[in-house]
Structure 1
Amino acid sequence: MNRTSLRRALVPTVAAIAMLSVTACGAANEDDDDKGGDSSGLSGTLNGGGASSQEAAQTAWRAGFQSLQGSGVTVNYDPTGSSGGREGFLDGGFAFAGTDSYLSDEEVAAAQETCGTGAIEVPAYVSPIAIMYNLEGVDSLKLSPQVIADIFNGKVTKWNDSAITELNDGVDLPDANINAVHRSDGSGTTGNFTNYLTNVVPENWPHGEVEDWPIKHGEGANGTSGVVAAVTDNPNSIGYADASQAGDLGHVEVQVGEGFVGPSAEAASKIVEVSTRVAGRAEADMAVDLDYQTTDDTAYPIVLVSYLVACQQYADQQTADLVKGYLSYVVGPEGQAAAADNAGSAPLSTTLADEALQHIEAISAK
């Protein structure tokens, strides 16, 4: 099944998304007019974990939220990877999880047992996945979906292979082996990347959509930071990672239709405009499937929606209030601006953010 995440990501409208006070998130007696006012009233420690691609955004979110709350609130986020985040949430170790792939049907059922009343699954932000490279003297690199798949599948192994040079007229590509770097841990970024390949060029990528790398070809590295480091430290390397963490490495321009487009928040937002909600899910589950078949060469096709997963109900009021407060901050305009500034993500559209806030507001204690 498709578990890739995404829907819409347009310019946020702060006036249209009323900033939810973290007090309002934790107390039923706040009026709607006060959403965005005083943020006091919460205390305790909130533990979450998951997608390492969220790490930059989570750092900014935690700092902003804790600043509003003062010394009485601590938020921890363990960037253990999307798979680890979902497992930790379903095992009860995390009060919330970050994931770059939406819950499978089996995980939805497991969440029902963990939470008692099921889970909510809301988008945190939209982000392009960059195919990054380290080639001395090469400032621009264009690749087709077929060639990308063949590189990571071990079919194209030299940088001066004709399949690459034909797409890059005038670019001096070295007679060197390609070091293709992939995630060695279970990863939602891998899931989104391989889902793109599966949908666009299944004949070149026969392994399907997977979060665990399916073949022995290439170099494995743990976490987003590990992949970025491996490509940075090893000339003639190529890898994939959340664009916000790809640093100064070169970014591949991917062929879409008759043109080529590089990763950006604006280009990532284009493809999600045609995405549809996953069928058969509960109202509080906002997971979507991407339509990768666009020929619009202003749309960057390799994208993810990073999700936040939480229970609809918690065993105690303190945890419910903390989860509600933190997630409201993340999805609200202040959190979305922080993610855009610190993680290079595309903010949620007004419509999507408003819906996510409604589901978060419904979180309660048993």
Structure 2
Amino acid sequence: MKRSRTYAIASLAAVGSLALSACSDNTASDSGSGSSDGGSGSSIDCGSGDLVASGSSAQAKAIDKWQADFSGVCPDVTVQYDPSGSGAGIKDFIAGKNDMAGSDSALKEEEQPEADARCESGKAIHLPMVISPIAVVYNVEGVDDLTLNAEVLAGIFGGTITTWNDPAITALNPDATLPSTTITTVFRSKDSGTTDNFTKYLDAAGNGKWTFGTGKAWTAPGGQGAPDSAGIAAAVQGTDGSISYVDGPDAKANDLSTAKLDSGSGGVEISDDSVGKAVAAAKQEGEGNDIKLSIDYALKEEGAYPAVLVTYEITCEKGLDAEKVKTVKSFLQYAATDGQDSLSDLGYSALPDELKSKVESSIEAIS
């Protein structure tokens, strides 16, 4: 199957388990203090013991990479990450089962006080750490270049556009030969932050064509459900006429054809530049060290790719167990500095400099 944009497959070692065992000797410092120079001139004061986290599967490939590299910086920390989904990660955090939750959406209004209560002496804060485009992936025989917009996607996933040669699709692709193949939509059957952000894009940019609301649960009728990104990739690869949505790294790793998005100035493909424009246009919400971003999914800026998701690491600003504070901070400091350098190769986008600086300051405040 041909692709609409060229992806270089990232060379990742197969990871059967998301737990890395730490070495017995702390090599981060000759003095044995566990202090290491991090990116951007920051100093990482290494903790020790287990860091338990769970949540977003969208950031799983980033966590895999960070785990492997971080073990060489802070070898006395064992990072255990369960990519169980954003909703599950938040539930684990509120219940005190993890030290940090990864979520592709900010805490809901009713979840914030529950998360704050788990922190006891402080509040739960959001730290944007991983930026991923939401790739609209498809498998249509003979079609290797496809442009869609939010209004047409709302019709496709809402069931009002049912064949690939529908006039609304051909209008966006005048040079393509589109077949009469029936469209098969594939959606996440489990609660998903990717679903939440994709439906927010359809709702904001779809000119009223999307009538099924937003949220982690898919509510539109019809289609074929898949529990996770791997299931979606398999379904799309195995079904001619299919279309779905996954985070950029999964589209890249599975060599899936990816549509360009047209927000009014022609089709825009996924790139660091196009995703960066969308993130730079986001407004910051939250107060103090709580960094929540409001993405403008209806962004019309030329060259911007507005269907993006931001994965937050949610943890306590204050109130973690004393022995956990240094452990959590050291990993987050690494992720926000040197860890950002590897993201583009995996299909993510690094934090813009201004946002990155704010995140580093918030991590420093954790106590």
Counterpart residue identity of residue 352, structure 2: S
Q: Does structure 1 residue 102 correspond to structure 2 residue 109?
A: no
Counterpart residue identity of residue 363, structure 1: I
* Structure 1 pair 352–89 and aligned structure 2 pair: CA distance change class (3 A): same
Per the TM alignment, residue 147 of structure 1 is displaced from its structure 2 partner at its CA by: 0.8
Counterpart residue identity of residue 360, structure 2: L
Q: Does structure 1 residue 352 correspond to structure 2 residue 364?
A: no
Moved more, 197-206 or 298-307: 197-206
* Structure 1 pair 167–40 and aligned structure 2 pair: CA distance change class (3 A): closer
* Structure 1 pair 41–51 and aligned structure 2 pair: CA distance change class (3 A): closer
Match of 2:217 in 1: 212
3-state SS of the aligned residue for 1:53?
Answer: coil
Measured in 2, the distance between the counterparts of 1:205 and 1:41 equals 48
Per the TM alignment, residue 29 of structure 1 is displaced from its structure 2 partner at its CA by: 11
Measured in 2, the distance between the counterparts of 1:245 and 1:34 equals 27
3-state SS of the aligned residue for 1:329?
Answer: helix
* Structure 1 pair 144–96 and aligned structure 2 pair: CA distance change class (3 A): same
Match of 2:256 in 1: 249
Match of 2:150 in 1: 145
The CA RMSD over aligned residues, in Å, is 2.6
Correspondent of 2:276 among 260, 269, 273: 269
Gap runs ≥5 in structure 2 = 1-26
Does the Cα contact within 8 Å between 1:261 and 1:300 map onto a contact in 2?
Answer: yes
Correspondent of 2:176 among 157, 171, 178: 171
Measured in 2, the distance between the counterparts of 1:192 and 1:316 equals 32
Measured in 2, the distance between the counterparts of 1:158 and 1:115 equals 51
Counterpart residue identity of residue 173, structure 2: N
Count of residue correspondences: 337
Per the TM alignment, residue 316 of structure 1 is displaced from its structure 2 partner at its CA by: 2.7
Per the TM alignment, residue 297 of structure 1 is displaced from its structure 2 partner at its CA by: 2.7
Does the Cα contact within 8 Å between 2:132 and 2:310 map onto a contact in 1?
Answer: yes
Measured in 2, the distance between the counterparts of 1:64 and 1:44 equals 17
3-state SS of the aligned residue for 2:328?
Answer: helix
Counterpart residue identity of residue 241, structure 2: N
Per the TM alignment, residue 335 of structure 1 is displaced from its structure 2 partner at its CA by: 0.3
CA deviation string 1:95-135 (max 9, x = no partner): 10111111122222111101011112111122211100011
Q: Which has the higher contact order (CA 8 A, sep 6+)?
A: 1
Match of 1:200 in 2: 205
3-state SS of the aligned residue for 1:352?
Answer: helix
Does the Cα contact within 8 Å between 2:46 and 2:327 map onto a contact in 1?
Answer: no
Per the TM alignment, residue 277 of structure 1 is displaced from its structure 2 partner at its CA by: 1.8
Identity %: 38
3-state SS of the aligned residue for 1:166?
Answer: helix
Counterpart residue identity of residue 268, structure 1: V
3-state SS of the aligned residue for 1:52?
Answer: coil
Does the Cα contact within 8 Å between 1:86 and 1:99 map onto a contact in 2?
Answer: yes
Measured in 1, the distance between the counterparts of 2:270 and 2:37 equals 38
CA deviation string 1:237-285 (max 9, x = no partner): 110011111032111111111311112221011122222122xx33121
TM-score (norm: length of structure 2): 0.85
Correspondent of 1:313 among 310, 314, 318: 318
* Structure 1 pair 227–341 and aligned structure 2 pair: CA distance change class (3 A): same
Per the TM alignment, residue 150 of structure 1 is displaced from its structure 2 partner at its CA by: 0.6
Match of 2:15 in 1: none
Measured in 2, the distance between the counterparts of 1:287 and 1:128 equals 17
